[in-house]
Amino acid sequence: GNSVTQMEGPVTLSEEAFLTINCTYTATGYPSLFWYVQYPGEGLQLLLKATKADDKGSNKGFEATYRKETTSFHLEKGSVQVSDSAVYFCALTDLISNFGNEKLTFGTGTRLTIIP
């Protein structure tokens, strides 16, 4: 079956530090990959996505590249801000193995705290 393994947190960084949150996946078909962000007390917001190998998703200074050879989709940001403090979820959806159902498989989430 499909699975997502995500770097365990919590992660605490100083403002303007470089961020990497690792994510690897297992899928039987051709998954699309996502990063979602959850701010305290809120639902999830799509941060970025990539639908095929070598695609790079980017948004708000965050980037992730779909690496099929390493089955990875690591999230990076060059200079984090206090407002980036949130929980980040890596996820995949795989139409083929789920018989056309675009249900998401999530990683366990990584709590990120940025200190001034």
Task: Point out which residues bind another protein (CB under 8 A).
Answer: 34, 36, 41-46, 49, 89, 101-104, 106-109, 111
Distance of closest approach, residue 18 Cβ to another protein, in angstroms: 25
Q: Considering the complex, state which of residue 87 and residue 114 has its C-beta at the smaller distance from another protein.
A: 87
State both tokens at 93: 């959806």
At residue 11, the 3 state secondary structure works out as strand
Distance of closest approach, residue 81 Cβ to another protein, in angstroms: 22
Q: Considering the complex, state which of residue 77 and residue 109 has its C-beta at the smaller distance from another protein.
A: 109
For residue 31, give the nearest of 106, 111, 87, 108 by alpha carbon: 106
Q: Considering the complex, state which of residue 72 and residue 106 has its C-beta at the smaller distance from another protein.
A: 106
**Are the C-beta atoms of residues 79 and 66 closer than 8 Å to each other?**
no
Whole-angstrom Cα distance, residue 44 to residue 73? 18
Kindly state the DSSP code that residue 96 receives in the 8-state scheme: T
Distance of closest approach, residue 16 Cβ to another protein, in angstroms: 27
Distance of closest approach, residue 101 Cβ to another protein, in angstroms: 6
Q: Are strands 62-65 and 56-59 parallel, antiparallel or unpaired?
A: antiparallel
Q: Considering the complex, state which of residue 7 and residue 15 has its C-beta at the smaller distance from another protein.
A: 7
